[in-house]
Amino acid sequence: MVVDRRKMIVDAATNSFSQFGFKATTMDQVAKIANVGKGTIYTFFSTKEELFDEITNSLIKEMKIAAEEAIDETLTFQENVHRALYRILEFRLEHQLTIKLFQEGREMRTPAAMEVIERIEKAILNFIKDKIEKAINKGEIQRCDPELTSFVMLKLYVALIFDWEKNHEPLSKEKIAKVLEQYIFEGLSK
Protein backbone atom coordinates (compact mmCIF):
# COMPACT_ATOMS: atom_id res chain seq x y z
CA MET A 1 0.00 0.00 0.00
CA VAL A 2 1.85 3.07 -1.29
CA VAL A 3 -0.70 5.65 -0.22
CA ASP A 4 -3.61 5.03 2.13
CA ARG A 5 -6.37 6.62 0.07
CA ARG A 6 -8.96 6.07 2.74
CA LYS A 7 -6.91 8.04 5.24
CA MET A 8 -6.27 10.77 2.69
CA ILE A 9 -10.01 11.11 2.18
CA VAL A 10 -10.86 11.11 5.87
CA ASP A 11 -8.14 13.68 6.59
CA ALA A 12 -9.25 15.91 3.75
CA ALA A 13 -12.89 15.68 4.81
CA THR A 14 -12.03 16.36 8.44
CA ASN A 15 -10.21 19.52 7.40
CA SER A 16 -13.01 20.66 5.17
CA PHE A 17 -15.81 19.92 7.65
CA SER A 18 -13.82 21.74 10.34
CA GLN A 19 -13.27 24.80 8.16
CA PHE A 20 -16.55 25.03 6.27
CA GLY A 21 -19.02 22.81 8.11
CA PHE A 22 -21.10 19.98 6.69
CA LYS A 23 -23.18 21.81 4.14
CA ALA A 24 -20.43 23.94 2.64
CA THR A 25 -18.13 20.96 2.18
CA THR A 26 -18.50 19.45 -1.28
CA MET A 27 -17.44 15.99 -2.31
CA ASP A 28 -15.55 17.48 -5.27
CA GLN A 29 -13.56 19.61 -2.85
CA VAL A 30 -12.78 16.65 -0.58
CA ALA A 31 -11.65 14.64 -3.61
CA LYS A 32 -9.38 17.45 -4.77
CA ILE A 33 -7.80 18.02 -1.32
CA ALA A 34 -7.35 14.27 -0.88
CA ASN A 35 -5.86 13.98 -4.36
CA VAL A 36 -8.22 11.23 -5.44
CA GLY A 37 -11.00 10.99 -7.97
CA LYS A 38 -14.44 11.67 -6.60
CA GLY A 39 -15.52 8.10 -7.39
CA THR A 40 -12.82 6.80 -5.04
CA ILE A 41 -14.56 8.39 -2.09
CA TYR A 42 -17.65 6.38 -2.93
CA THR A 43 -15.74 3.11 -2.82
CA PHE A 44 -15.19 3.73 0.91
CA PHE A 45 -18.29 5.70 1.89
CA SER A 46 -21.63 5.32 0.19
CA THR A 47 -22.88 8.82 1.03
CA LYS A 48 -21.58 12.15 2.28
CA GLU A 49 -23.40 11.45 5.55
CA GLU A 50 -21.53 8.18 6.03
CA LEU A 51 -18.18 9.93 5.61
CA PHE A 52 -19.35 12.57 8.06
CA ASP A 53 -20.47 9.91 10.55
CA GLU A 54 -17.08 8.22 10.49
CA ILE A 55 -15.43 11.53 11.32
CA THR A 56 -17.87 12.58 14.02
CA ASN A 57 -17.69 9.13 15.62
CA SER A 58 -13.93 9.54 15.93
CA LEU A 59 -14.54 12.94 17.44
CA ILE A 60 -16.86 11.49 20.05
CA LYS A 61 -14.36 8.71 20.83
CA GLU A 62 -11.61 11.32 21.26
CA MET A 63 -13.90 13.26 23.56
CA LYS A 64 -14.53 10.21 25.70
CA ILE A 65 -10.81 9.54 25.95
CA ALA A 66 -10.19 13.14 26.99
CA ALA A 67 -12.91 12.86 29.62
CA GLU A 68 -11.55 9.58 30.98
CA GLU A 69 -8.09 11.08 31.14
CA ALA A 70 -9.42 13.94 33.23
CA ILE A 71 -10.60 11.48 35.86
CA ASP A 72 -8.30 10.67 38.75
CA GLU A 73 -9.37 7.67 40.81
CA THR A 74 -7.77 9.08 43.95
CA LEU A 75 -10.13 12.09 43.94
CA THR A 76 -13.76 12.26 45.06
CA PHE A 77 -16.77 11.73 42.82
CA GLN A 78 -17.57 15.44 42.93
CA GLU A 79 -14.13 16.50 41.83
CA ASN A 80 -14.05 13.91 39.07
CA VAL A 81 -17.43 14.84 37.64
CA HIS A 82 -16.35 18.43 37.57
CA ARG A 83 -13.00 17.60 35.95
CA ALA A 84 -14.61 15.38 33.32
CA LEU A 85 -17.44 17.73 32.41
CA TYR A 86 -15.18 20.74 32.34
CA ARG A 87 -12.73 18.84 30.14
CA ILE A 88 -15.49 17.84 27.71
CA LEU A 89 -16.79 21.37 27.35
CA GLU A 90 -13.24 22.66 27.03
CA PHE A 91 -12.77 20.10 24.26
CA ARG A 92 -15.68 21.70 22.43
CA LEU A 93 -13.87 25.02 22.46
CA GLU A 94 -10.52 23.58 21.44
CA HIS A 95 -11.65 21.63 18.40
CA GLN A 96 -12.51 23.53 15.27
CA LEU A 97 -14.84 20.74 14.15
CA THR A 98 -17.09 20.97 17.20
CA ILE A 99 -17.08 24.77 17.12
CA LYS A 100 -18.08 24.77 13.45
CA LEU A 101 -20.72 22.10 13.95
CA PHE A 102 -22.38 23.81 16.90
CA GLN A 103 -22.36 27.08 14.96
CA GLU A 104 -23.81 25.40 11.87
CA GLY A 105 -26.51 23.72 13.93
CA ARG A 106 -27.45 26.96 15.66
CA GLU A 107 -27.31 29.35 12.71
CA MET A 108 -28.19 27.26 9.67
CA ARG A 109 -30.08 24.39 11.29
CA THR A 110 -28.30 21.92 9.02
CA PRO A 111 -29.95 18.61 9.97
CA ALA A 112 -26.69 16.62 9.76
CA ALA A 113 -25.00 19.08 12.14
CA MET A 114 -27.92 18.99 14.54
CA GLU A 115 -27.91 15.21 14.60
CA VAL A 116 -24.25 15.17 15.56
CA ILE A 117 -24.85 17.68 18.33
CA GLU A 118 -27.54 15.38 19.66
CA ARG A 119 -25.21 12.38 19.45
CA ILE A 120 -22.51 14.30 21.31
CA GLU A 121 -24.99 15.31 23.99
CA LYS A 122 -26.19 11.73 24.41
CA ALA A 123 -22.61 10.48 24.65
CA ILE A 124 -21.84 12.99 27.40
CA LEU A 125 -25.03 12.07 29.27
CA ASN A 126 -24.19 8.37 29.07
CA PHE A 127 -20.70 9.03 30.28
CA ILE A 128 -21.87 10.91 33.36
CA LYS A 129 -24.74 8.52 33.98
CA ASP A 130 -22.27 5.69 34.12
CA LYS A 131 -20.08 7.54 36.62
CA ILE A 132 -23.11 8.33 38.76
CA GLU A 133 -24.26 4.70 38.79
CA LYS A 134 -20.81 3.60 39.87
CA ALA A 135 -20.69 6.23 42.59
CA ILE A 136 -24.08 5.11 43.90
CA ASN A 137 -22.96 1.48 44.00
CA LYS A 138 -19.81 2.42 45.84
CA GLY A 139 -21.94 4.41 48.29
CA GLU A 140 -20.11 7.62 47.42
CA ILE A 141 -23.31 9.57 46.82
CA GLN A 142 -26.98 9.40 47.75
CA ARG A 143 -29.28 7.15 45.78
CA CYS A 144 -30.80 9.16 42.87
CA ASP A 145 -32.08 8.80 39.31
CA PRO A 146 -28.84 8.64 37.28
CA GLU A 147 -30.58 9.66 34.04
CA LEU A 148 -32.13 12.74 35.60
CA THR A 149 -29.06 13.61 37.61
CA SER A 150 -26.71 13.49 34.64
CA PHE A 151 -29.20 15.62 32.71
CA VAL A 152 -29.32 18.22 35.47
CA MET A 153 -25.55 18.29 35.75
CA LEU A 154 -24.93 18.74 32.05
CA LYS A 155 -27.59 21.42 31.71
CA LEU A 156 -26.10 23.29 34.62
CA TYR A 157 -22.58 23.07 33.24
CA VAL A 158 -23.59 24.20 29.79
CA ALA A 159 -25.59 27.05 31.29
CA LEU A 160 -22.69 28.17 33.50
CA ILE A 161 -20.05 27.90 30.79
CA PHE A 162 -21.88 28.98 27.64
CA ASP A 163 -25.08 30.81 28.61
CA TRP A 164 -23.86 32.80 31.59
CA GLU A 165 -21.25 34.65 29.55
CA LYS A 166 -23.82 35.94 27.09
CA ASN A 167 -24.73 38.57 29.68
CA HIS A 168 -21.95 38.39 32.29
CA GLU A 169 -18.21 38.05 32.78
CA PRO A 170 -17.23 34.39 32.24
CA LEU A 171 -16.92 32.30 35.38
CA SER A 172 -13.53 30.79 36.20
CA LYS A 173 -13.09 27.04 36.38
CA GLU A 174 -12.78 27.29 40.15
CA LYS A 175 -15.90 29.43 40.47
CA ILE A 176 -17.90 26.93 38.42
CA ALA A 177 -16.66 24.10 40.62
CA LYS A 178 -17.70 26.06 43.69
CA VAL A 179 -21.15 26.87 42.32
CA LEU A 180 -21.78 23.27 41.36
CA GLU A 181 -20.61 22.06 44.73
CA GLN A 182 -22.80 24.57 46.50
CA TYR A 183 -25.90 23.62 44.57
CA ILE A 184 -25.70 20.02 43.45
CA PHE A 185 -23.61 18.61 46.24
CA GLU A 186 -24.51 20.65 49.24
CA GLY A 187 -27.72 22.50 48.74
CA LEU A 188 -28.77 25.99 49.58
CA SER A 189 -30.92 25.56 52.63
CA LYS A 190 -29.86 26.42 56.19
Partner DNA sequence: TTTTGACCAAATGTCCAAATTAGTCAGTAA
Partner DNA sequence: TTACTGACTAATTTGGACATTTGGTCAAAA
Residues at the interface with a copy of itself (CB under 8 A):
78, 139-142, 144, 147-149, 151-152, 155-156, 159-160, 163-164, 168, 179, 182-190
Q: Does 40 bind DNA (CB under 7 A)?
A: yes
**Residue 105 and residue 20 in contact, taking contact as beta carbons nearer than 8 Å:** no
Q: Does 28 bind DNA (CB under 7 A)?
A: yes
Q: What is the DSSP string of 147-166?
A: HHHHHHHHHHHHIIIIIGGG
- Separation CA 17–CA 24 (nearest Å): 8
Q: Which of residues 42 and 164 has its CB atom nearest to DNA in the complex?
A: 42
Q: Does 77 bind DNA (CB under 7 A)?
A: no
Binder of residue 28, out of a copy of itself, DNA, none (CB less than 5 to 8 A by kind): DNA
- Separation CA 129–CA 109 (nearest Å): 28
| Three-class SS state of 26 | coil
Q: Which of residues 26 and 76 has its CB atom nearest to DNA in the complex?
A: 26
Q: Phi, psi (5° rounding) for residue 32?
A: -65, -50
Least Å distance between CB 113 and a copy of itself? 16
Binder of residue 139, out of a copy of itself, DNA, none (CB less than 5 to 8 A by kind): a copy of itself
Least Å distance between CB 106 and DNA? 17
Q: Which of residues 33 and 152 has its CB atom nearest to a copy of itself in the complex?
A: 152
Among 27, 66, 152, 184, binds DNA (CB under 7 A): 27
Residue (of 140, 165, 164) closest to 81 by Cα position: 140
Give, in order, the Cα–Cα distances in Å from 19 to each of 16, 41, 98: 5, 19, 11
Q: Does 54 bind DNA (CB under 7 A)?
A: no
Q: Which of residues 43 and 182 has its CB atom nearest to a copy of itself in the complex?
A: 182
Quote the DSSP letter at residue 139: T
| Three-class SS state of 140 | coil
Q: Which residues would be at the binding site for DNA (CB under 7 A)? A: 5, 25-28, 31, 35-40, 42-43, 46-49
